[in-house]
Chains A and B, each alone.
Chain A
């Protein structure tokens, strides 16, 4: 009885939620076509439809960058995108990687990416709320370094510029930036003299 009343109330309040089919690739897996409301934000789609809750909802205004995911482009390049300000349909046809998709399974074991491992080795985060965004941001930055290496003297500045938008309230960035610097120095082709 109650359930029927609830349903009726919802129907009255939202007589028609406009939906559209959505197709995209997430963590290498093809999703859809699936009917998604045209005004639904990407982070809600990840959480509610796919149960991918590792992407964190922070400020909800596109400022803190906790909700950042990685976009893989056809030319092999990577970029960052916030999911709390862009709709699910903005990612239509795109290929994205959420925090759940960075580590890869090898011989039955999940192996972290060099960035993820460095964040742990350096104790880069405490509460971990911003960590998924930092992983996406740092991975994109390393990809850019691979394409256009920087001089050793400019590395710290380049890290700060690239990750500047990502907000962390626990560790004060130092350990994040040190971890990224370690990976950049250890990866051939990222830093030139």
Chain B
């Protein structure tokens, strides 16, 4: 595993990041815990958002964790896939919307 960037076993060691800086790690994990508590959004909605974001930032650990978490919150396969399509639409749209700038510039430069 030493010559690969990702090891699934590392997900379980997430808490170990406190070893090199316990104070900030504690702040982060406290914050993290609070973020995912049931609030104005349900825990299930938050899990689906996390799953969608995980695909946007392409974090394999997060995809692993929030696929399990979503299943345990009663999310269906269909709902998980729709969440990923939302990610894809936003990611694709983010590129595409910049084409307005391209078009503006092109039109300005062109006779």
A binds B: no
Interface residues of A (CB under 8 A from B): none
